[in-house]
Chain A
Amino acid sequence: MTAVARGPARPGTEEFEVPLWRALAVFRIAALSYAAVRVAQNFRHYDHPVLSWVVIGVMAGWTALTIYGYRQPRWRRWPLLIADLAVTAACLLVSPAILGPNGLQLGIANIPVAWIASPVLAWAISGGRRRGVIAAIIMGICDLISFSSYNGASLDSPVLLILAGLAVGHVARLSVEAQERLQRATELDAANRERERLARGIHDSVLQVLALVQRRGTELGGEAAELGRLAGEQQAALRTLVGSGPAVPPDGDVDLRTVLGRYASGTVSLATPAHPVAVPATVADELTLAVGAALANVAQHCATGTRAWVLVEKEDSSVLVTIRDDGPGIPPGRLDEAAAAGRLGVAQSIKGRIRDLGGSVAYASTPGQGTEVELRVPA
């Protein structure tokens, strides 16, 4: 592939121009048909009726040739573009001589009529606005010359040509830019994925070492055990950071797995689905605070080192978050007592929050198996 850039089209963008070239081919055929109909209606009044059909023939041949030529990316270059302009201009410039004064009095401007716009459009597609306007000006001048030989100049066609060149050139440039932007975004995405993959590898080796320190430290005991415990905490933090993956739920929603991830630690384990649990940001905030309150409650009322588990489930029309600890459990009636005594810590901050979301809270305590708090909110 050649490195020479043709107008705005850089390697890889030709694909995107294809629909525009196809549209131009349709335009050429339509304009040619219209020109042929005009000639068929009026050729008896022309000075040289036979020659007018010869011009239509040349136009038909050139239409076929250019449709074929512009289909090949390597042919969409100056030689074909210039030839296109020259052949079209020639068909336009010979028109006055063929039509003669009679023909012009019938109100017929020239033989090709709208067909003269095709090279302007071709230039615009291949090179954007500026090229389109240059071709339009050249073709406009030819139009003025052919016209002025009889009844003075009209600026209508040149102005239309320039506008067409501008508009199509603009669209061509836009589509090429859109393509380039898409390509850049794709490249960026690939680079990000690669970076993510590398980061994952690095995180994994850091986690390996932390796990090793934790394990050996615990076995050695004493100060080493303390180091091991610290390594364990860092492990849990890093794991939540990388574990949930990059999936992002749709706009406005928050992945509950990510926001609850902050609570995972050496003593709190988090179980979630592998795919995002998307909830509105407000629901996520309230749930996070409620889970935080439940876990704080565990820390406050149970012995140090009491473990807790948080389970996140997405059901058909609700999200269920369960917090269980392996502490001694809440004696029956204890919560009601607290509420009656005005000490509403747990009841208010958890039940209130969840009820505001239209959800429900259930407490369960099994002797010897700790306490469970089940938060269910509609989602």
Chain B
Amino acid sequence: MTRVMVVDDHPMWREGVARELAEEGYEVVATVGEGGQAVRVAAAARPDVVVLDLQLPDLSGVEVIHGLLAAYPTTRILVLSASGEQQDVLDAVKAGATGYLLKSAARSEFLDAVRRTADGDTVFTPGLAGLVLGEYRRLAAAPAPADEPPRLTDRETEVLRLVAKGLSYKQIAERLVVSHRTVQNHVQNTLHKLQLHNRVELVRYAIEQGLDDRE
């Protein structure tokens, strides 16, 4: 049975989501309202999927995601956001979340997203696809990049643009005459490259800071 942890500071929302998940046959292993607490219980609760609200009272979304992945690296994080604050969402997926959904999504969409996240798929909204496309363009256009910025292949760009225009993976597969799995892989790759680049940048930053401190 898939183990799910729900992290949300809004009690009604938290309980509602937990109930829906339980009704659908998921094992809700923890429901918590704070980021710090989520990070503390993650190792013991061992959730396959964390349904995470980005706006928590104590920690930023990125901090919680880093904490969760450090505590239990195999967990997959599905971000739910009410406000859809663009930079927050982009930072969250760069930090390692593999799915994103607006809270206004219908119950069926939500349950589908949890199922796909548990399967290891990436869950993109059209809005997130637009953000990721924009981020690749920003990195490519950045003046004097420290190293080779990550690039999308033509096919990946094509797939992302179709996602951003609201096509389902099934529709994209039909249009490009490829398998559903191939579409899924392309989307996943776009995210992985961005996350990898982000980790490299973080390490570089840490090294630079460390060297500065020693001076």
Contacts and interface: CB of A to CB of B under 8 A. Distances in A.
Interface of A: 200-201, 203-205, 207-212, 214-216, 218-219, 232, 235-236, 239, 242-245, 266, 269-275, 307-309, 311-316, 322, 324, 326, 366, 368-369, 372
B90 interface: yes
B87 A274 contact: yes
A244 B90 CA distance: 12
A160 to B, nearest CB: 49
B10 A272 contact: no
Contact of A272 (B16, B125, B134): B134
Nearest to A271: B130
Contacts of A326: 166
B201 to A, nearest CB: 16
Contact of A274 (B86, B102, B161, B164): B86
B165 interface: yes
Contacts, number: 128
B107 interface: yes
A311 B178 CA distance: 23
B126 A243 contact: no
20 contacts: A200-B85, A201-B55, A208-B103, A211-B82, A211-B103, A215-B106, A215-B107, A245-B87, A271-B127, A271-B128, A271-B133, A273-B135, A274-B87, A274-B134, A313-B133, A314-B134, A314-B137, A326-B166, A369-B167, A372-B165
Contacts of A307: 166
Contact of A324 (B84, B86, B166): B166
A269 B131 contact: no
Given A207-B82, A271-B130, A309-B166, A236 B171 contact: no
A372 B167 CA distance: 11
Given A204-B82, A313-B137, A314-B134, A214 B166 contact: no
B83 A207 contact: yes
B138 interface: yes
A2 to B, nearest CB: 35
Contacts of B127: 269-272
Contacts of B167: 324, 369
Nearest to B137: A314
A271 B134 CA distance: 10
Contacts of A204: 55, 82-83
A298 B128 CA distance: 24
B85 A245 contact: yes
B165 A309 contact: yes
Nearest to A215: B107
Nearest to B165: A324
A69 to B, nearest CB: 33
B107 A219 contact: yes
Given A208-B82, A366-B175, A272 B130 contact: yes
Contacts of B86: 243-245, 272, 274
B177 interface: no
Contact of A273 (B10, B82, B131): B131
Interface in B42-97: 55, 82-87, 89-90
B12 interface: yes
A272 B138 CA distance: 12
A316 B102 CA distance: 30
Contact of B104 (A219, A235, A311, A312): A235
B36 to A, nearest CB: 17
A272 B85 contact: no
Given A204-B82, A272-B86, A309 B138 contact: no
Contacts of B171: 368-369
A218 B103 CA distance: 14
Contacts of B12: 212
Contacts of B135: 273-274
A326 to B, nearest CB: 7
A303 B12 CA distance: 35
Contacts of B13: 208, 211-212
B166 A243 contact: no
Nearest to A270: B127
A327 to B, nearest CB: 12
Given A271-B130, A273-B131, A309-B126, A211 B104 contact: yes
B198 to A, nearest CB: 14
Contacts of B1: none
B134 A243 contact: no
A308 B104 CA distance: 16
Nearest to A239: B84
A232 B131 CA distance: 22
B103 A205 contact: no
A329 to B, nearest CB: 13
B140 to A, nearest CB: 9
Contacts of A242: 83, 85
What are the nearest 3 A-B pairs in CB distance? A273-B134, A271-B130, A309-B166
A200 B84 CA distance: 11
Contacts of B211: none
B85 A273 contact: no
Nearest to B141: A316
B12 to A, nearest CB: 6
A243 B83 contact: yes
Contacts of A201: 55
Contacts of B106: 215, 218
Nearest to A322: B165
Given A218-B106, A309-B166, A275 B134 contact: yes
